[in-house]
């Protein structure tokens, strides 16, 4: 298997699916020039400007047109450029895409993939570094994918494109350069299945998206200090692999959820709440969450560093949890 | 087109559609008043000529998108009456299985892609549908209905620019009844109006007296042909008057009664009736059409009232395939 | 004290503050005609059309203009008509209002109140019945108020208008006709203080907004069955009264959070997670959440009823919790 | 206005501002290349005449809003250079205490209400600021800068309609450099363009060669006076050319090199220099202005590089008053 970057893995997955199914197409700003990150490099040349549509800066219609095109039977990939700009298209996403199938009693098939590179991004400040994936777990009708590796990005993107549901696909933009093995023919990865990154019996680390490499690093450091973490990358937040987390917790009794997003109202709250409901408080020894404090992402490096989750903070949080 | 010979037939078809819309909505109003229809209800009484005139020129495989005041659009596009009435009543046999109600009527089987509870919400969807149709090589077109209130929302600009840019087969239809909810649109709309805005966005525009069914029909025939020919989008600006209030429970007491009286006299069904009479159609023929429409809708009302409610289990269905939650109380 | 409706209480609070402070003004659709619900009846006549501004249907600018006007020193009340339409103004709310103060290093004072009547509303279906208050607890910079009584609505609205922070004020639209006593002179109610609706030692019921009357009803029914619930109406979700909930839980050990919103990703998750973190799993006997299932709000009465939280479901959930 | 006599002085002031903007941005580019400035950096090299021409006609208590390419606007409005440079460097003394960076520079003390990372994001804020000023009885006005890419976003329509409706004191300034990120704006913009759109929304519009500083200055003087007089908003459409790439790291390799060469020859500082020389200003005077600007910015760069980083505790401040979270690692 070839080792390629995450962004190249994403490119190949979309390429494969557009070759496979002529009803798949992509729309968004600058996509005909290959996209902001090169995710669509070469697509215009291969598929032409009817299937690779560079759009005006019109987020409402980028999103809404994707929906309309799905309603007549095509399968658009809606490229949002950077997550933060989806705020300019929330009616189309939340009031329309998420609800049409239900409101219309099953007549509508909003088979769109909405790609939104997200996460803290090297000193890009508050308007270019948001992580609001938890919002969309709260919206019926939506599927939420948050991959962290090249192979997962590729496999989950294939699943997303083939799915009849609207899938919010959070590309981890800070990990675009990350390399890893990806198969020649990309097989779909089912949604709702966590990936175990490390096995251990002392505590369960649940995580996803761009922070995953640092959680792995932290787990290695913890292992060196005699703490064996069971590390699960959820990969998708709706549906999410409750069973895997519960099974791990039945062994470890200790849960630490780590995400880049703000802790308050983040999906870590849902993971914790659900596990306590499922296993009962008596089934657990200690629980904790580690995320960004409830503060916007600042620009200056020392400020960004002060707030953002990193390996050292993960290690410290895990050790604190072990002491409880 | 062999329009001359069958002009009377066309006008009669328009008349029939308009009477059916009127009858449907008056029946619905009565049913709402009687507590048979829950939730908000927006009727288009006085605006029927626009829906009838546009949709009469569309093929079944053409699509439409609509707004919160969409009964007329749906009916004119061919949506089944029983399914519409049951939807209003929240019954199992509604087009949306009772999940949508008046504000979300859709009938995909006749190309009606949905009413919309968000002003201007249908515009992005319409242009996307047109783009999809074009991509698939279809020559079907999309008619996009919205009110004069929608032209102050951003998606109007984004959608018209988009349609013009990609030369998409969209006929935008602005039903200009002069009001948005309880506010006169002129009091919140700067500049010369919708036609100038559309032209500035590259969308050729025609204005028409939207209460003159024949005029709407004629304009629509021309514009639909142009759009279908692939020459890009067009906008029809149809001026009309909403005789009733914003919702079924709004008495619109703030309106000038004289203006309402004048509007009642100038309303499109009366006008078309006069025209048909002048063209030699017998009054009794027209009465029969009207009577049939009322009877049809009365029957639909009784059926809807007698129709079964949706099973509560239905509430859990059609959310999504992956990650659907199982029904549990 | 006079007993008045909730919507009248809200009207009087805004009226009082507009009389008190000439920099307060209101903008939104139809506000000069008194607003969709009569919240601003008589305002145009008293304050004129410079301070009571009926706007076009332009949600982006209604929101953004409110911000701009705050940046030059006025204090706008931004009326969103119905919560769902805030989706048309999310960039202005989340990328701008919530972040300007921080991004600009404290120079900006976004002293706006954003009023958003929300909640399930008598068969209004998916686009007019949303409850997404939890979203905004996840956004640094925002304050979130979710009153449930006439007096709280009035007092919290006064606080909101006087606050220099942007306050999201969720009017419980289904409770507008609810009556209750409201003082002649409306005193501000501090944010972050829960209101105890009933005292009890068996379980803690935490709730807010439009479902509160049914929680009270359920608590009365439970009392009749020998279960004494300690009922807390949080009133604001950011800040929220962790201390009051924790104190109650230290006595009862049992927590049931009840909200109208979808359970998954709802603020109930945060309440549960925070309490487990604070008190430790060992400090709790049982926890549960009751909310709307992850399904859009349907139109037909039997469907709406099947999904929405009601008194019977609250009683059942509380009883189940007592058995655990 | 006594413009004739002091025309040369005005032009020299413009020249000075433009040289300072250019020097600021070239210094910043070099610093970014050297790794001294983190994050993205959008410079406006070649566009300086617009910022200088507009802001030169504003009072200190007038406000501006800007976009992602806002160094020139801020500087021309009078923002302190040290605070700007430190902000780019992420230092404690930055106008935003290091929290904003290049894309979020603001200096409220001179009426600069902020750059914006969202295209068209400044438009709603500008009209609201104007509304607030009007409400308070001030005669200050707001200038709202945005690019040609912004005219395809909804807030453009909503904001212009709004300003015209309430006759707000806003001068909209469209800096039309022909590109939005990596896409030629003409290829995604239908219809006749920004002037037609603005006129259709009730906003009188003037077009100007945005690389001719004197022409911008003259147009701005007239429009600012009109706006301040309470006659409602105006739009200035200024055509210009962005000589460098979209961001500091974009080589803009897809551009036609000949076009870039031509643009370099037609760039506004050279043009203004030629004009000043022809009006008898000594070349040495102009060289001194340029040299001073470069020296000023080089000094700002060294100071910024030596300036202290913000204390990590600052990261927790200025989120909100009620419900602020306490600093903890
Ligand atoms: C984005 C949005 N804002 C506000 C509303 C509330 N609303 C419903 S209908 C309406 C008036 C619409 O006027 P118009 O488009 O002219 O249609 P008409 O009712 O006159 O047919 C308003 C403001 C809404 N549904 N959506
Ligand atoms: C709503 C939104 N969409 C997309 C972007 C990404 N983006 C940043 S600048 C830019 C191009 C803007 O072009 P223009 O307004 O003409 O300004 P210019 O860069 O030419 O000065 C784009 C697409 C953004 N910042 N905001
Ligand atoms: Mg109207
Ligand atoms: Mg540009």
DSSP assignment of D213-274: HHHHHHHHHHHHHHHHTTS--EEEEEE----S-SSTT---TTS-HHHHHHHHHT-HHHHHHH
Q: What is the DSSP letter of D71?
A: H
Residue B321 corresponds to which tokens in the numbers above? 């395939």
∠ CA(A32), CA(A109), CA(A34), 5° rounding? 10
- Answer for the pair A256, A215: CB distance below 8 angstroms, yes or no: no
Quote the radius of gyration of chain D (alpha carbons, Å). Answer: 20
Which residue puts its alpha carbon closest to atom 17 of ligand 1?
B147
- Answer for the pair B58, B77: CB distance below 8 angstroms, yes or no: yes
Answer yes or no: do C106 and C212 share one domain.
no
Instruction: Give whole-number Cα distances, D128 to B156, B281, D33, D167, in Å.
Output: 21, 58, 38, 12
Cross-chain Cβ contact D157/B154 below 8 Å: yes
CA closest to A62 among chain B residues:
B124
Pick the closest to residue D66 from D129, D19, D119 (CA basis).
D119
- Across chain B, mean pLDDT equals 96
Answer yes or no: do C167 and C200 share one domain.
no
Interface mutation target, options C55, C97, C98, C105, chain D, most CBs of D under 10 Å: C105
SS3 at position B272: helix
- Answer for the pair A264, D324: CB distance below 8 angstroms, yes or no: no
Residue D240 CA to residue D222 CA, distance in Å, equals 20
Answer yes or no: do A136 and A33 share one domain.
yes
Which residue puts its alpha carbon closest to atom 22 of ligand 2?
D181
Interface check C56 vs A, CB under 8 A: no
Answer yes or no: do A157 and A233 share one domain.
no
Looking at residue D252, what is its pLDDT?
A: 83
Ligand 2 first shell, C-beta below 6 A: A 29, 57, 59, 81, 85, 88; D 68-69, 117-119, 146-150, 177, 179-181, 185, 242, 246
Looking at residue A1, what is its pLDDT?
A: 85
CA closest to D96 among chain A residues:
A299
Looking at residue B252, what is its pLDDT?
A: 83
User: Where are the alpha helices (H) located in chain A, listed in sequence order?
Assistant: 6-20, 43-47, 59-71, 90, 100-103, 133-137, 150-162, 212-224, 242-252, 267-279, 301-307, 311-323
Residue B271 CA to residue B294 CA, distance in Å, equals 19
Task: Quote the ligand 4 centre to A83 CA distance (angstroms).
Answer: 21
- Answer for the pair A222, A318: CB distance below 8 angstroms, yes or no: yes
Helix B7-33 to helix B213-228 angle (10° resolution) is 110
Considering the domain boundaries, does residue C209 fall inside one? yes
Chain C 100-129, residues with CB within 8 Å of chain B CB atoms? 122-128
Q: Mean pLDDT, consecutive 10-residue segments, chain A of 324 residues?
A: 96 98 98 96 98 98 98 98 98 98 98 98 94 98 98 98 98 98 98 98 98 98 98 98 98 98 98 98 97 98 98 98 94
Residues of B with Cβ-Cβ distance to C123 under 8 angstroms: 38-39, 90, 101
Looking at residue A197, what is its pLDDT?
A: 98
Residues of D with Cβ-Cβ distance to C74 under 8 angstroms: 132, 135-136
Looking at residue B251, what is its pLDDT?
A: 84
Whole-angstrom distance between the N-terminal and C-terminal Cα of chain D?
A: 59
Peptide bond into A39 cis (omega under 30): no
Ligand 1 contact, B73 CB (< 6 A): no
Looking at residue D2, what is its pLDDT?
A: 43
Q: Domain end: A182, A214, A239, which one?
A: A182
Considering the domain boundaries, does residue C254 fall inside one? yes
In tens digits, chain C (324 residues) has pLDDT values of 899 999 999 999 999 999 999 999 999 999 999 999 999 999 999 999 999 999 999 999 999 999 999 999 999 999 999 999 999 999 999 999 999 999 999 999 999 999 999 999 889 999 999 999 999 999 999 999 999 999 999 999 999 999 999 999 999 999 999 999 999 999 999 999 999 999 999 999 999 999 999 999 999 999 999 999 999 999 999 999 999 999 999 999 999 999 999 999 999 999 999 999 999 999 999 999 999 999 999 999 999 999 999 999 999 999 999 998
Residue D289 has pLDDT above 70, yes or no: yes
Q: Domain end: C137, C156, C182, which one?
A: C182
Answer yes or no: do C230 and C304 share one domain.
yes
Quote the radius of gyration of chain C (alpha carbons, Å). Answer: 19
CATH number of the domain residue C10 falls in: 3.40.50.970
SS3 at position C288: strand
Answer yes or no: do C51 and C12 share one domain.
yes
Structural domain span for residue A156: 2-182
Helix D48-55 to helix D7-33 angle (10° resolution) is 130
Looking at residue A184, what is its pLDDT?
A: 97
Answer yes or no: do A141 and A199 share one domain.
no
Cross-chain Cβ contact A126/C99 below 8 Å: yes
Interface check C61 vs D, CB under 8 A: yes
Which residue puts its alpha carbon closest to atom 23 of ligand 1?
B181
Interface check C60 vs B, CB under 8 A: yes
Q: How many CB pairs under 8 A join A and B?
A: 162
Answer yes or no: do C57 and C155 share one domain.
yes
Pick the closest to residue A255 from A282, A224, A278, A289 (CA basis).
A289
Interface mutation target, options B95, B105, B183, B320, chain C, most CBs of C under 10 Å: B183
> Which of A33, A55, A123 is closest, CB to CB, to D101?
A123
Residue B97 CA to residue B115 CA, distance in Å, equals 15
Beta strands in B101-211 (DSSP E): 142-147, 170-176, 179-180, 183-184, 205-209
CATH number of the domain residue A300 falls in: 3.40.50.920
SS3 at position C35: coil
Q: What residues of C are annotated to the active site? A: 128
Residue D77 CA to residue D84 CA, distance in Å, equals 12
Chain A 128-157, residues with CB within 8 Å of chain C CB atoms? 132, 134-135, 137-141
Which residue puts its alpha carbon closest to atom 13 of ligand 2?
D180
Considering the domain boundaries, does residue C273 fall inside one? yes
Answer yes or no: do A218 and A122 share one domain.
no
Residue C172 CA to residue C150 CA, distance in Å, equals 10
Measured between CA atoms, how close is D286 to chain A, in angstroms? 36
Measured between CA atoms, how close is C37 to chain A, in angstroms? 22
Pick the closest to residue A289 from A304, A270, A307 (CA basis).
A270
**Among the four given CATH numbers 3.30.420.40, 3.30.300.20, 3.40.50.970, 3.40.190.10, the one describing domain B7-307:** 3.40.50.970
Answer yes or no: do A39 and A163 share one domain.
yes
Task: Quote the ligand 2 centre to C93 CA distance (angstroms).
Answer: 19
Looking at residue B328, what is its pLDDT?
A: 64
Answer yes or no: do A33 and A174 share one domain.
yes
- Answer for the pair A322, A203: CB distance below 8 angstroms, yes or no: yes
Residue A49 corresponds to which tokens in the numbers above? 């400007």
Whole-angstrom distance between the N-terminal and C-terminal Cα of chain C?
A: 43
Query: Which helix (H) or strand (E) is A2 found in, with range?
Result: strand A2-5
CA closest to B38 among chain C residues:
C123
Residue A25 CA to residue B143 CA, distance in Å, equals 23
Q: Domain end: C182, C210, C229, which one?
A: C182
Backbone angles phi, psi at A181, to 5 degrees: -75, 140
Identify the active-site residue in A118, A128, A138, A259: A128
Which residues touch C204 (CB under 8 Å, ≥6 apart)? C229, C230, C231, C232, C245, C248, C249, C251, C252, C254, C255, C256
Q: Longest C-alpha distance within chain D, in Å?
A: 63
Residue A128 is among the residues annotated as catalytic for this protein: yes
Pick the closest to residue A254 from A283, A292, A213 (CA basis).
A283
Q: Quick one: how far is CA D72 from the chain centroid?
A: 4
Looking at residue D253, what is its pLDDT?
A: 81
pTM of this structure: 0.98
Residues of chain B with confidence (pLDDT) below 50: 1-2, 4-5, 329
Considering the domain boundaries, does residue A150 fall inside one? yes
Number of domains comprising chain A: 2
Residue C90 CA to residue A243 CA, distance in Å, equals 35
| Prediction ipTM score | 0.98
What ranges do the domains of chain B cover?
Answer: 7-307
Considering the domain boundaries, does residue A189 fall inside one? no
∠ CA(D259), CA(D262), CA(D264), 5° rounding? 110
CA closest to A308 among chain D residues:
D329
Answer yes or no: do C92 and C170 share one domain.
yes
Buried/exposed code over B306-323 (b: 16+ C-beta within 10 A; e: otherwise): ebeebebebbbbbbbebb
């Amino acid at each position: 298997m070839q080792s390629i970057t995450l962004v190249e893995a994403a490119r190949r997955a979309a390429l494969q699916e557009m070759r496979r199914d002529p009803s798949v197409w992509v729309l968004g700003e600058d996509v005909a020039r290959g996209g902001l990150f090169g995710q669509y490099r070469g697509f215009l040349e291969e598929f032409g400007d009817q299937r690779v549509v560079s759009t005006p800066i019109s987020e409402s219609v980028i999103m809404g047109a994707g929906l309309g095109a799905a309603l007549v039977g095509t399968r658009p990939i809606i490229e949002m450029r950077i997550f933060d700009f989806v705020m300019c298209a929330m009616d189309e996403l939340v009031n329309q895409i998420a609800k049409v199938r239900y409101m219309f009693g099953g007549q509508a098939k909003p088979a769109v993939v909405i790609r939104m590179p997200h996460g803290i991004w090297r000193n890009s400040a508050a308007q270019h570094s948001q992580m609001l994936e938890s919002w969309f777990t709260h919206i019926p009708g939506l599927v939420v994918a948050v991959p962290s590796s090249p192979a997962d990005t590729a496999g989950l993107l294939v699943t997303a494109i083939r799915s009849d549901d609207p899938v919010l696909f959070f590309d981890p933009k800070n990990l675009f350069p990350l390399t890893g093995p990806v198969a020649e023919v990309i097989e779909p990865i089912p949604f709702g299945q966590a990936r175990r990154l490390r096995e251990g019996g002392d505590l369960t680390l649940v995580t996803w998206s761009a922070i995953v490499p640092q959680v792995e690093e932290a787990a290695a450091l913890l292992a060196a200090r005699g703490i064996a973490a069971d590390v699960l990358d959820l990969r998708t937040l709706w549906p999410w692999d409750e069973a895997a987390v519960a099974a791990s917790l039945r062994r470890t009794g200790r849960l630490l959820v780590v995400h880049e997003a703000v802790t308050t109202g983040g999906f870590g709250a849902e993971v914790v709440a659900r596990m306590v409901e499922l296993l009962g408080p008596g089934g657990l020894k200690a629980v904790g969450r580690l995320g960004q404090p409830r503060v916007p992402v600042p620009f200056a490096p020392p400020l960004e560093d002060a707030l953002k989750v990193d390996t050292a903070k993960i290690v410290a949080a895990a050790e604190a949890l072990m002491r409880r | 087109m062999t329009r001359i010979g069958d002009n009377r037939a066309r006008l009669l078809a328009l008349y029939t559609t308009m009477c059916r819309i009127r009858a449907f909505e008056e029946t619905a109003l009565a049913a709402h008043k009687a507590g048979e229809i829950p939730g908000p209800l927006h009727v288009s009484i006085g605006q029927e000529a626009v829906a009838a005139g546009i949709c009469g020129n569309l093929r079944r495989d053409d699509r439409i998108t609509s707004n919160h005041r969409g009964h007329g659009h749906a009916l004119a596009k061919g949506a089944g009456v029983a399914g519409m009435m049951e939807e209003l009543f929240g019954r199992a046999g509604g087009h949306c299985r009772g999940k949508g109600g008046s504000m979300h009527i859709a009938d995909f089987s006749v190309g009606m892609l949905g009413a919309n509870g968000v002003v201007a919400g249908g515009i992005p969807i319409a242009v996307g549908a047109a783009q999809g149709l074009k991509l698939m090589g279809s020559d079907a077109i999309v008619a996009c209905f919205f009110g004069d209130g929608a032209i102050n929302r951003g998606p109007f600009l984004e959608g018209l620019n988009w349609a013009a840019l990609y030369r998409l087969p969209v006929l935008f239809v602005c039903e200009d009844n002069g009001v948005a909810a309880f506010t006169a649109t002129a009091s919140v709309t700067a500049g010369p109006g919708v036609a100038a805005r559309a032209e500035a966005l590259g969308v050729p525009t025609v204005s028409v007296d939207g209460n003159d069914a024949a005029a709407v029909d004629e304009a629509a025939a021309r514009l639909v042909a142009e759009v279908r020919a692939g020459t890009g989008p067009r906008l029809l600006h149809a001026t009309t008057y909403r005789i009733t209030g914003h919702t079924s429970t709004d008495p619109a007491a703030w309106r000038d009664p004289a203006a309402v009286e004048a509007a009642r006299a100038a309303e499109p069904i009366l006008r078309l009736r006069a025209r048909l009479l002048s063209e030699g159609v017998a009054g009794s023929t027209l009465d029969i059409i009207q009577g049939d429409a009322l009877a049809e809708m009365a029957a639909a009302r009784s059926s809807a009232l007698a129709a079964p409610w949706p099973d509560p289990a239905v509430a859990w269905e059609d959310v999504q395939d992956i990650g659907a939650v199982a029904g549990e109380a």
